[in-house]
């Protein structure tokens, strides 16, 4: 065995290069070659077939430079916008700093405190925008003078069913029962109408043929919604389609079919192009306006869905004819169900991610919390009639509202007879000024009421009454709280069981003075 091992070792030693030969280099070994044979073959072919003209074309690179310039331009634009906003915040912080303290020890200390104040302002704005902080506006609202009232900004032929404001509160949108959609300026009142396209264009944009006895698409609009970026306006109505409009050109760009009943309510999720639509077919559908695509359908209601609201989170609040309010948690694919005590809910809105308001057909306003299935606080007869309106109402279409004694007094209002039992008393709309403690509600009793939402879910407290004759079918608050927009009509939004002849169909605006 030893001899055999020695022979093997000697043989292995003798395998090196001979004296007269050159040593074998590592880089000549194909094992250490990093490029594959196929890659070398492709490179060789490219070297052989390339010409001077092709090399000149590749060296030119005009397309790449143009794309780079466009990207740089977009990036520079975003940078300018951010710098301008930051400079605005700095000026506000500087003004507050100068008001608080006139003298400072050094410039460095002054600059440092100013930067910290800017950071605090930005953080506060972010918390308010996300709903984690509440602005205290209600206590600053001054009592309106007798001369101050609603002024009609835009007139419509028929009752206004929906109003909406853009994110910057500079533009407004309104829609009525006759299918008219109007785009107007808040300051000047200058209005421009949206023109409905022909039946052929609607079909090319995705609309399905009308079902039933209808021969063409109904233009009766029930709801509107505006995206946060100000690019899209969504409308829905009796034709069971969700229509998407380009705000910049005021042209129809897409129709979303899929609902089996009238589209009664719409809302965009804040900061996104995600659109939610509620319908009489008892479902809520999710769409993407940017991609022009259908996403999902939410089930749960046992009656028609008539109102909807959404904040920045993927949570949707809806009310239906089944006397329930549903909170859909979209990512978790779950929902919470809140039951009304003894009435049908007509409208709803978020206060923040964990608190909500709703209005009922018995004239009550309910304050809800996400941790309780029953209302935390109920304001009964919130819109009781203080004087008899001349209301034309059919005998067969009376509404089952609660009966009120002829001499009862509630919430500081002296009620006459049982007028609260009519259609004029039920709450058609309720809305909260975003991330604040100021709310408002509307009905057909001749007043729009302002409310203060108390902290720690203690309830809501009445503030002021703003006179306005007619059915207040929709409300919109400016983000700053400086004005309120109401969509008014002679008839309710979802029917014709009541009529107030003295009312003027249109959009009314009321300014609010803050301390």
Give, in order, the Cα–Cα distances in Å from 214 to each of 219, 235, 237.
12, 19, 14
User: What's the CA gap between 268 and 182, in Å, rounded?
Assistant: 19
Q: Above 90 in pLDDT, residue 214?
A: no
pLDDT in tens, 404-416: 333 333 443 333 3
The answer, yes or no, to whether residue 123 has pLDDT greater than 70, is no
What's the pLDDT at 148?
80
Ranges of beta strands (E only) in 247-387 are: 251-256, 263-268, 274-279, 284-288, 293-298, 305-310, 315-320, 324-329, 334-339, 345-352, 355-360, 365-369, 377-379
When pLDDT is averaged across residues 462-487 and rounded to a whole number, the result is: 94
CATH of the domain at 332: 2.130.10.10
- Domain span at 273: 138-386+419-511
Which of the two residues, 318 and 121, has the higher pLDDT score? Answer: 318
Which pTM value belongs to this model? Answer: 0.73
Average pLDDT over residues 126-142: 75
Residue 398 has pLDDT above 90, yes or no: no
Q: Is residue 409 part of a domain?
A: no
Count of domains for the chain: 1
* Strands of the 171-176 sheet, one edge to the other: 160-165, 171-176, 181-185, 191-194
Query: Is residue 193 in a domain?
Result: yes
Residue 82 forms part of a structural domain:
no
Closest CA to 339 of 320, 361, 352: 320
The predicted-structure confidence for 136-178, as pLDDT tens digits, reads as follows: 899 999 988 877 889 999 999 999 999 999 999 999 999 999 8
Please write the tens of the pLDDT for every residue from 351-394. 998 899 999 988 999 999 988 889 999 999 898 876 555 555 54
Q: What is the pLDDT of residue 89?
A: 74
Calpha distance 315→355 (Å, rounded):
12
Residue 100 maps to a domain = no
Query: For residue 18, is it within any domain?
Result: no
Residue 130 lies in a domain: no
Q: CA geometry: angle at 450 spanning 190 and 493, to 5°?
A: 60
Q: Report the percentage of the chain scoring pLDDT > 70.
A: 70
Does a structural domain hold residue 493? yes
């Amino acid at each position: 065995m030893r001899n055999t091992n020695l022979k093997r070792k000697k043989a292995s030693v003798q395998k090196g290069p001979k004296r007269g030969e050159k040593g074998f280099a590592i880089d000549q070994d194909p094992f250490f070659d990093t490029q594959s044979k196929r890659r070398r073959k492709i490179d060789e072919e490219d070297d052989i077939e390339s010409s001077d003209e092709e090399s000149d074309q590749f060296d030119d690179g005009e397309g790449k430079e143009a794309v780079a310039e466009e990207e740089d331009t977009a990036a520079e634009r975003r940078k300018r916008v951010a710098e301008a906003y930051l400079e605005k915040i700095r000026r506000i912080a500087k003004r507050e700093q100068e008001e608080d303290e006139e003298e400072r020890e050094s410039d460095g200390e002054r600059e440092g405190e100013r930067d910290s104040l800017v950071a605090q302002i930005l953080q506060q704005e972010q918390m308010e925008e996300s709903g984690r902080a509440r602005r205290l506006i209600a206590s600053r609202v001054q009592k309106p003078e007798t001369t101050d009232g609603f002024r009609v900004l835009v007139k419509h032929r028929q009752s206004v069913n929906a109003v909406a404001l853009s994110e910057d509160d500079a533009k407004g949108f309104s829609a009525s029962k006759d299918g008219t959609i109007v785009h107007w300026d808040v300051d000047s009142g200058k209005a421009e109408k949206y023109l409905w396209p022909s039946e052929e264009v609607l079909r090319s944009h995705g609309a399905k043929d009308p079902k039933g006895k209808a021969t063409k698409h109904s233009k009766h609009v029930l709801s509107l919604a505006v995206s946060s970026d100000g690019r899209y306006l969504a409308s829905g109505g009796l034709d069971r389609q969700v229509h998407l409009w380009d705000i910049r050109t005021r042209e129809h760009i897409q129709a979303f079919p899929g609902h089996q009943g009238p589209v009664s309510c719409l809302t965009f999720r804040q900061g996104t192009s995600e659109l939610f639509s509620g319908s009489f077919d008892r479902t809520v559908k999710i769409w993407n306006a940017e991609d022009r695509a259908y996403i999902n359908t939410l089930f749960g209601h046992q009656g028609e869905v008539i109102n909807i609201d959404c904040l920045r989170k993927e949570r949707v609040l809806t009310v239906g004819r089944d006397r329930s309010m549903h909170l859909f948690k979209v990512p978790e694919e779950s929902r919470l169900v809140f039951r009304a005590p003894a009435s049908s809910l007509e409208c709803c809105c978020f206060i923040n991610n964990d608190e909500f308001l709703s209005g009922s057909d018995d004239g009550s306003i309910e304050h809800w919390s996400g941790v309780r299935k029953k209302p935390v606080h109920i304001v009964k007869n919130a819109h009781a009639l203080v004087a008899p309106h001349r209301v034309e109402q059919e005998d067969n279409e009376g509404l089952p509202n609660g009966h009120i004694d002829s001499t009862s007094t509630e919430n500081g209002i002296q009620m006459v007879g049982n007028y609260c039992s009519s259609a004029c008393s039920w709450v058609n709309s309720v809305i909260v000024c975003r991330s604040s403690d100021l709310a408002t509600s509307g009905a057909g009793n001749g007043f729009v009421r302002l409310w203060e939402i108390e902290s720690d879910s203690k309830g809501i407290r009445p503030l002021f009454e703003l006179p306005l004759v007619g059915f207040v079918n929709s409300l919109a608050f400016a983000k700053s709280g400086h004005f309120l927009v109401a969509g008014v009509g002679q008839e309710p939004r979802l029917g014709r069981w009541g009529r107030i002849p003295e009312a003027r169909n249109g959009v009314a605006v009321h300014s609010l003075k803050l301390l």
